[in-house]
Chain A
């Protein structure tokens, strides 16, 4: 079965600073990986996804993530944080084994952007 670990339940950055949200996955086979964002009192919205094409994936709102098989990581980055980026971010994994039709989500990272 696959699993996801998000390091850091809360991350604070200053406006204009680099955003780095960490995600490590566990899967016995090559996975597909997703990052979702949840703004307060809203549902989850897809930021980007990796489906075994390019290892560097660009998403919406200036976010990108790099798949590193050797490190089993899929960290989310944005060069310059904006106040509107404050939200909770979830990493999710899907793999062709076990519950193949399901996404497995991490526990989430709350991003705070300081003025």
Chain B
């Protein structure tokens, strides 16, 4: 199993350009997440999905859109990139929730390093 993979690994955009980051998992997990990682701020949740065809906003959703048309894929889109979106983006997936709907272990991809000039 490849686990969680992310495409591309690196990308440089100019302000105003658009792009899509692809996350794929081969573990048949229901739950998928997009995070951004910035120095000194840990990981912040952008959007997440609790199953195929569903999406929900996380802590920092502005400027991003997502889609989960297939269970194994979770796409993150930037419609008009801004320098503030320069970051490392991580995708994660999880097979289940714990009792009470609590998040369980998440499995992370290797990340996409995005620079917006």
Chain A residues whose CB sits within 8 angstroms of the CB of B92 once the complex forms: 43-44
How many B residues touch A, CB cutoff 8 Å? 29
The residue of chain A having its C-beta at the shortest distance from the C-beta of B44 within the complex is: A105
What is the distance, in angstroms, from A65's C-beta to the closest C-beta of chain B? 15
B75 at interface, CB cutoff 8 A? no
Chain A residues whose CB sits within 8 angstroms of the CB of B97 once the complex forms: 100-101
CA distance A50 to B68 in the complex (A): 30
What is the distance, in angstroms, from A94's C-beta to the closest C-beta of chain B? 4
Q: What 1/0 mask marks residues of chain A from 26 to 64 whose CB sits below 8 Å from any chain B CB? A: 000000101010000111111001010000000000000
Q: What 1/0 mask marks residues of chain A from 2 to 31 whose CB sits below 8 Å from any chain B CB? A: 000000010000000000000000000000
What is the distance, in angstroms, from B35's C-beta to the closest C-beta of chain A? 8
**Assuming A32-B98, A43-B90, A44-B90, is B103 touching A106 (CB within 8 A)?**
no
What is the distance, in angstroms, from A44's C-beta to the closest C-beta of chain B? 4
**Assuming A101-B31, A108-B42, is B110 touching A42 (CB within 8 A)?**
yes
CA distance A65 to B40 in the complex (A): 23
B80 at interface, CB cutoff 8 A? no
A95 at interface, CB cutoff 8 A? yes
A102 at interface, CB cutoff 8 A? yes
Chain B residues whose CB sits within 8 angstroms of the CB of A46 once the complex forms: 105-107
CA distance A44 to B33 in the complex (A): 13
- Determine if B100 and A45 form an interchain contact, defined as CB atoms under 8 angstroms apart: no
A103 at interface, CB cutoff 8 A? yes
Q: What 1/0 mask marks residues of chain B from 1 to 43 whose CB sits below 8 Å from any chain A CB? A: 0001000000000000000000000000001010000001111
CA distance A49 to B102 in the complex (A): 13
B76 at interface, CB cutoff 8 A? no
Q: A32-B103, A96-B101, A101-B48 are in contact. List 7 more A-B contacts (CB 8 A).
A: A41-B110, A45-B108, A49-B105, A95-B102, A100-B100, A102-B103, A105-B44
Task: Name 14 interchain pairs, CB-CB below 8 A, sorted by A.
Answer: A32-B102, A32-B103, A36-B108, A43-B92, A44-B90, A45-B108, A90-B43, A94-B98, A96-B102, A101-B102, A101-B103, A102-B48, A103-B106, A107-B40
